[in-house]
Structure formats: structure tokens, C-alpha cells
Structure 1
Amino acid sequence: MKKVAIIQDMSSFGKCSLTAAIPVLSVMGVQAVPLPTAILTSQTEYPSYFCEDLTEKMTHFTDEWHKMGATFDGIHTGFVTGKEQIENIFSFLHTFYQEETTLLVDPVMGDRGQMYDVFTGELTGYMEELVKRADVITPNVTECCLLTGLSYDKLQTYRTVEDYVATLEDAGRQLQSDTNAKVIITGLNPPAHSGTRLVGNLYIDGASSYHRLQEYNGKSYSGTGDLFASVMMGGLMRGQNPVETMELAEKFLTAAIQSTSEERIPTEAGVNFESHLRMLL
């Protein structure tokens, strides 16, 4: 069985990070091995939460797993709280990343055009170094802009779907050139087409690209990016075609979002993905 080390936080409520990645990878036939970077009572969009930062504990996982002779087929990183955590990730990669290992970096830096408060210029520089080591990168549109210098505000001024997608494709190719990684840009939200808002994802690998758009219900739920990235990692471990895996992730999330919307679940609570995990078998 393939093993993937997941370096992310554990939020008890919100269905994101480790609580999203572990069940997805497990149902896809992959052993999920968590390395928690922080423990939170709930994800940070809740009005109140407690967070225990585990930065100083991360090296114990690296040391103990090294003593065990552990090896990993994949390494999956997500949200980090500071540059010290990325330094710990570099140390982890030095110990466990091999030629046959797949490193997927989800550069969780911001959303909706805004950088998260924790990200300073220094931390952004560290994240840029981390993505350069990745084999696969899954930034959302905001994170793609932050990593490439593309103006998010200018992107919102485009009047056609074609111009919007073409501009993001150019940015994605720049990011791929900078990192030599496969790039999947998530959360495309182009101008409304015939009055219908759309959402989708864009895959870029070498000279080829592929994007898929579908109707958008206007809601943004906690953890959907983590679920998407986890499905992509599971597909990579199963040797699936990345485009086929991206389509599987989209179908899985569409079903989960639809049932969540019908039940009027608060967006910070995440999506009801559990009853749809069988789609990933």
C-alpha cells in the first residue's frame, strides 16, 4: 500500500486539512500518515477557536520516523503558520524525499484576492522556495496571483471567459516554468456567461492544458480546496491520469456541495463529503 505523509493542521470542526485529507486518501487505497502542524478546536473562520501550534514538535516526527526507517511514496503539504514550519518541512524533505517520491504542495496563502494575515513578505518568500521543490502545485486563483505577480484585481475586469482563462493559463505556465511542476489552478470564477456564474479548475503540464467549468452556486465552503488536493494526491498514488483525477475530484465535490447546500449547512462547517466518499473507490 502506498503511503503519503500529510503535513497540515488538524481542525476538529470545519472538515478541512487533516480531517479532509485522511478519509479521502484512505478510501482511495492510500495510507495517510499525518504530521500535525497545529491542533485547532475549529478552523479559523469560526468566530472563536483555540490553536495549539506544534512547530517545535514537528522535528520529533521527522526524527522518530527516520529511526523507524519509514519511507513515503508521497508527501502532501498544506497550511503553515510561519517560516519555521517551512524550515521544518525542508528538513523533512531532506530526510524523506527521494527520486520516486511525489511532493504535492498546496500553497495555502489566501483567497478571494486577499492574503491571509499570517503571510508576511518573508513567509511568502519561503513558500515560493517550497513550491520550487514540488512535483505538483494546487494554488487557487489568489495564490496563483501571489506566486506570479498577476494582478487579481485586473483579472476581475475581464469581460469574457476566454480572456480570463487565457490570462490564468499564461500565469500558470509562468509558475510551471519557475518550478518545473505540474500546476492545477483551482477555483476559477470567470465572468458570468449568459447570466450564469461559472467555477472550475485549470490543469497545466508542459505544452498541454485543460480546464473545465460548471455552474457556480455562489457559496465558498471550508475545506473544498483540501479535499480537491487530497483527491489529486490519491489519484497520483493510484497512477491515474491527472485530468481524469481532476474530473473525479470535481464530480465528488459537486455532489458534496449540492447536498450541503440543500441542508443549508453554514459555509464554515465545510461540506458533507462523507456520504460521497464511495465515488472515489
Structure 2
Amino acid sequence: MTSHNHQKKIAVINDLSGFGRCSIAVALPIISAMKIQCCPVPTSIFSNHTGFPSFFFEDYTDRMQPYIDQWKKLELQFDGVCTGFLGSKEQIQIVARFLQDFGREDNRILVDPVMGDYGKPYATYTTEMCQEMRKLVQFADILTPNLTEACLLTDTPYRPDHWRKTELLELAEALAAKGPEKIVITGIPQGDFIANYCYEKGEEPTILRTHRVGTQRSGTGDIFSAIVAADAVNGVLFRESVKKASNFIKKCILRSIEMDLPLTDGVCFEEFLTKLR
């Protein structure tokens, strides 16, 4: 029987937005540029993301399992899996089954628990969905929550700044107790800097800081998780990968400001794709 598993592959489970540079539309070119085949599983279809005044939307929940079942028939194997925004309890449960079906000892599963920001869950995120996401975290090798999501996953009171190292360590250890070996808590404000807290079981934690530039744009989290997932499959050290992703995003934001791109249009990562290795 012909094998389809001679090339490295990452399955990306996320929505597809035709315009606005986020989710699958970001992950696919970035992972491909890093010499890995990207295989998308769409959770929903958007003409443009929800940051715009209006958009076309089609929910893909009922089609996800039949779609995935065809991959089972092909006996596909993935070196990595990267999950992003999930819009319902049912979608989270489908992804949990996917990770059970396709998980192996030697693949790398990255869960980006896209649940909220600025101290609050997104309006669409119910208490029930938060509980399901906590269950999904157990499958992750790598977890990439922002500060809000780290607090939501651990029932930790949120505050926007002034986090001590000991408190961040406690937060990371509480997340690690759920299963992930590697955790990066992103977007921690530190004055003129934005920090990422890198935690690996058995290693000394690291805080990586970059100067804050511009205003938050769509898709930067998707860029970050795509780079980290591809690097994990390619065997790059975790903290080096986090540093690479942060520097890449900063460069893209600065170029987007130079080009006077609207915030809704995301960042012009295309200009730097050839720099990713």
C-alpha cells in the first residue's frame, strides 16, 4: 500500500478566514516555509475575521468528523498537531478525539487555548467550554496561553501587571500539572516591554522580553503558535523557538506600521517568509 507519510506533516485545526491574516490562512504559509507540510482541518469558514464590521460565516462542526475520518482511511500520520480557536463544546470534543486517534509518542501537540484576553473570556466562551478546554490541555506537549487564558485554566485571579517571578512559576506549574511538558505564557506586560514566560519541566524557567511596538493586531498569536509548532517538529530548542517567534512578529508589526496597514488586516508576514528556517 502507498504510504503518505514520507514527509513531515502538521495538522492545523482552526478556522479559515479569507481576509485579515489569521488562523489557517497564517499557519499554512508559515509552516510550509519551514519545510513542513501543513494539513488544515477547518472548524468554520469566514470571509474575513470577526474584527470587521460584517462578515460571512459558516459553521463547519458537523463536517469536521467526516472530514477527519477520511484521513483515518488514508492512514495519515502527523509529526505535529496545532490547535487554535474552537467555537463550541462539540468542536473541543472532536479535537480531543482527533488527538487520541492521531497522537503518537513521537509527535508534538501544541494547544493554543484561545479563550479570552484582557482578563475576561471571549463573549462566545461559556463556562462549559472552559471546562472542556481544561480537559483538552491534558493532550498538549506544548501549551501557549496568554496571561488571561493561563488564569482561566487554573482558576487564578487575573491582574494586568506586576506579576512576580514566583507567581508566574506557580501559574506555569499549575498548568504543567495538567499535562504539558512545555508552556509559554505570552503577552505579559512589563512597562515598555512585553514578556513571554517559558517553562519546561526539569529546566530553569526563562523570561524573554521584547520592546512593545504598535498596537495589537489580528493573527499574531497564530503566527507565534505556527512557528513554535514547526520548530518543535524540526527539533529546535523551545526557548530559542519562542525567541524566534517573538522577534519575527515584532519585525512584521514594524513593517505593517511602515506600510500603514489597518489593524484589522493583521501583519504583513509575507515580506519575511523567506527568513524563516
Aligned to 1:57: 63
Say whether 1:42 aligns with 2:45: no
Aligned to 1:201: 196
- Cα distance between partner residues in 1 of 2:213 and 2:238: 25
CA contact (8 A) 1:3 1:74 kept: yes
Say whether 1:176 aligns with 2:214: no
**AA aligned opposite 1:277:** L
CA contact (8 A) 2:16 2:23 kept: yes
- Cα distance between partner residues in 2 of 1:165 and 1:274: 36
Say whether 1:266 aligns with 2:262: yes
> Which residue of 89, 93, 100 corresponds with 2:99?
93
**AA aligned opposite 2:181:** A
Aligned to 2:3: none
Q: Which stretch of the first structure deviates more once superposed, 237-246 or 211-220?
A: 211-220
Deviation at 1:29, TM superposition (A): 0.6
Deviations 1:54-84 (A, max 9, x none): 0000011221111111111111111001011
Deviation at 1:23, TM superposition (A): 0.7
Say whether 1:147 aligns with 2:157: no
Helix, strand or coil at the partner of 1:16: coil
> Which residue of 179, 192, 215 corresponds with 2:211?
215
Aligned to 2:234: 238
Deviation at 1:217, TM superposition (A): 2.3
Helix, strand or coil at the partner of 1:38: strand
In the comparison of the two structures, how many residue pairs are matched?
A: 270
Aligned to 1:66: 72
Deviation at 1:167, TM superposition (A): 2.2
Deviation at 1:218, TM superposition (A): 4.7
TM-score by length of 2: 0.94
**AA aligned opposite 1:227:** I
Aligned to 1:102: 108
Cα distance change on mapping 1:244 and 1:118 into 2, 3 Å? same
Identity %: 36
Q: What stretches of structure 1 of length at least 5 have no aligned partner?
A: none
CA contact (8 A) 1:134 1:179 kept: yes
Deviations 1:193-247 (A, max 9, x none): xxxx111211101242111112112510100011001000110111111111111
CA contact (8 A) 2:9 2:38 kept: yes
Aligned to 1:8: 14
CA contact (8 A) 2:99 2:139 kept: no
Aligned to 1:167: 167
- Cα distance between partner residues in 2 of 1:265 and 1:110: 25
> Which residue of 78, 87, 92 corresponds with 1:81?
87
Helix, strand or coil at the partner of 2:139: coil
CA contact (8 A) 2:252 2:267 kept: yes
> Which residue of 14, 25, 42 corresponds with 1:19?
25
**AA aligned opposite 2:233:** M
**AA aligned opposite 1:266:** P
Q: What stretches of structure 2 of length at least 5 have no aligned partner?
A: 1-6
**Backbone CA RMSD of aligned residues:** 1.3
- Cα distance between partner residues in 1 of 2:105 and 2:208: 31
Deviations 1:101-136 (A, max 9, x none): 211100000112221111111100000000111111
